[in-house]
């Protein structure tokens, strides 16, 4: 049963399809993830699995987190996971605690949605952030890249919420939908996805079967 998986964006490359057309690819080192908890309608009100990704030394976690990992993986376990995510599933009984989730669940040609955190670009003005048109550059104009008037008239007499203005650009969670899997390398835990995905290299991304395909 296909479910989501966590991975690390390794960068971009290219390849050629059977027709000889160049295809831009994003390389994602996905998994393996470990099922840490299973949630059901009867106990939690919904069906989902909680998976862990990014194995690391258990001593790096605080006592509550370390206790959770020991409860799931055993008292003698010396590892924990940096990233925890829940994925909704239709049949929780198809999974078991400790089960490994790998890229083998995906197939070539399958459509997936990839979620990541976009690159942060700091504070940006309205021209760069929202593609506003600049003001005149001659005849003594002092309104070159200023946003202009932002308030309303007598009513409602305040700046409306959501007004496009200068501010932090990027560093937000974004999802790119309906990306096609070009290649699956089970030995190296690699997914080759056609197109670009959000985030910088070495950032964590989430790959799930597409909901709109």
The domain that contains 31 carries what CATH number? 2.40.30.10
Residue 202, class by beta-carbon neighbours within 10 Å (0-12 exposed, 13-18 middle, 19+ buried)? exposed
Beta bridge partners of 6: 206
Q: Are residues 127 and 184 in the same domain?
A: no
Q: What was the pLDDT predicted at 64?
A: 85
> Which H/E stretch holds residue 66?
helix 63-73
Q: Residue 208's pLDDT is what?
A: 94
Does residue 103 share a domain with residue 132? no
| Whole-number pLDDT of residue 21 | 93
| Positions of E strands within the chain | 5-16, 22-30, 33-39, 48-57, 79-88, 100-101, 111-117, 123-124, 167-168, 173-185, 190-194, 204-209
Q: Is the same domain home to 101 and 70?
A: yes
Q: Give dist(CA 79, CA 89) in Å, integer.
A: 26
Within this chain, do residues 49 and 137 fall inside the same structural domain, yes or no?
A: no
pLDDT band at 31 (very low <50, low <70, confident <90, very high): confident
Q: How many domains, in total, are found in the chain? A: 2
Residue 55's nearest CA partner among 19, 96, 93, 6 is 6
Judge if pTM exceeds 0.75.
Answer: yes
User: What mean pLDDT do residues 99-117 have?
Assistant: 93
Answer yes or no: do 105 and 181 share one domain. Answer: yes
Burial status of residue 27 (CB atoms within 10 A of its CB: 0-12, 13-18, 19 or more)? buried
Residue 194 has pLDDT above 90, yes or no: yes
Region of poorest pLDDT, from 21-35, 64-78, 92-106, 197-211: 64-78
**pLDDT for residue 6:** 95
Residue 133 exposure: Cα atoms within 13 Å on the Cβ side? 2
Predicted pLDDT of residue 1: 57
Domain limits for position 140: 121-169
| 204 in the same domain as 141 | no
């Amino acid at each position: 049963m296909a479910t989501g998986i966590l991975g690390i964006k390794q960068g971009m490359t290219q390849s050629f399809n059977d027709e000889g057309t160049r295809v831009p690819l994003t390389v994602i080192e996905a998994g393996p993830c470990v099922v840490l908890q299973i949630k059901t309608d009867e106990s939690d009100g919904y069906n989902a699995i909680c998976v862990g990704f990014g194995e690391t030394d258990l001593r790096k976690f605080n006592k509550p987190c370390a206790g959770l990992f020991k409860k799931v993986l055993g008292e003698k376990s010396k590892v924990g996971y940096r990233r925890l995510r829940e994925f909704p599933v239709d049949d929780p009984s198809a999974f078991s605690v400790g089960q490994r989730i790998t890229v083998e669940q995906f197939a070539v040609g399958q459509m997936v949605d990839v979620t990541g955190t976009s690159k942060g670009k700091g504070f940006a003005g309205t021209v760069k952030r929202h593609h506003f048109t600049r003001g005149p550059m001659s005849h003594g104009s002092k309104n070159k890249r200023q946003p202009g008037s932002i308030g309303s008239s007598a009513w409602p007499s305040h700046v409306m919420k959501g007004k496009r203005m200068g501010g932090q650009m990027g560093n937000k969670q974004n999802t790119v939908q309906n990306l096609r899997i070009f290649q699956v390398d089970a030995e190296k835990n690699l997914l080759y996805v056609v197109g670009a995905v959000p985030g910088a290299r070495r950032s964590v991304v989430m790959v799930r079967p597409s909901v709109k395909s």
